[in-house]
Amino acid sequence: MNAIISAAQLASDLAGARPPVLLDVRWQLSLARAAGEPAFDGRAEYEAGHLPGAAFVDLDRELTAAPGAHGRHPLPDPQEFGAAMRRAGVSAARPVVVYDGGQGWAAARAWWMLRWAGHPDVKVLDGGLTQWQGPLETGAVTPAAGDFAPVPGALPLLDADGAAALARSGVLFDARAGERYRGEVEPIDRVGGHIPGAVSAPTADNVAPGGRFLPAEQLRARFAALGAEGGEVGVYCGSGVSGAHEVLALAVAGIPAALYVGSWSEWSADPSRPVAVGPDPQ
C-alpha cells in the first residue's frame, strides 16, 4: 500500500463511496516559545482554512507525551492517543489521510503513530495543503466519534540501546540537517553531534522543491548509496518528528525502517551516552 497520496487522487477519493477521514496536523518546530515570543498556532491556521471535513490534531498534545527523560516528543500513552484519534473521527475500517502545511514532518508523525498503533490504511497528502486545489473550509469541525483502538507494535521501534546497536550492525540514519549531525551548531539540545556510527541523511533531501517526495526510484537510489541495501535500517532525528518523515520516505522507497522516537533529545540528555562529531559516522 502506498504511504502517500496526491492531491488529485485525494479529491477523487473524497468524492467516492468510501471517503477517508481527514486529519489536519499543522505544526512547526519553533524556538519562539523559549525566547518568550508567540509560538506557531496550528489550530488558528486550521480554523482560517482547512480541507472540508478535516479535524485538527495537535501534535504536541495528542501525538506525543509531555517532554521528559525520553525526549521532547516521546510516545503518548496508547489509550490517550486512541481517545484523541476517536475524537478526530478515526475508525479502524475507514482510510485516513493526514496533512500539514507542506513541510510534511507533522503529517508524517501522525502517519507513523497511526500505523505503529495498528491502523491499516493511512496516507500522507504529498506536499501537504500547498498542493490542494479545491475549496477550503473555515472554523472547527467536530466529527462523529470513531472506533479506533490502538494495538501498538505494527511498525518497528527503537530505544537508545537499540539505536546504538543498529548503528553497529545495520544502518542508522540521522535525519537532521548536516550541520547538527556534524556538531557545528545545536540550537535545541544539550550538545551537538551524532550517535556514533550513524549516517547523515537529512530528510530535506528526500523532497523536491515544493515539498513533494522524490520518485520512489530516486529515493531507493539515494538510500542505497547511503548503505541501505537489504539490512536493518533505523532512523532518528531531534525528537522523533522529522525522523518519521524519513521513515515515510523509506516506505515510499520500499524500505522498512524502525524509528528511534526519543532521538537526539533523549540521547544527548544522558551524559553517559557517547557523542561523535564531524562528517564521519564514527
Known catalytic residues are 237
Q: DSSP H helical segments within the chain, as ranges?
A: 7-14, 42-48, 59-62, 78-87, 105-116, 160-169, 178-181, 216-225, 242-252, 263-267
Length, in residues, of the chain: 282
**Dist CA 200 CA 240 (whole Å):** 15
192 contacts: CB under 8 Å, gap ≥ 6: 180, 182, 183, 184, 185, 186, 275, 277
Query: Which among 27, 11, 18 is positioned nearest to 245, based on CA atoms?
Result: 27
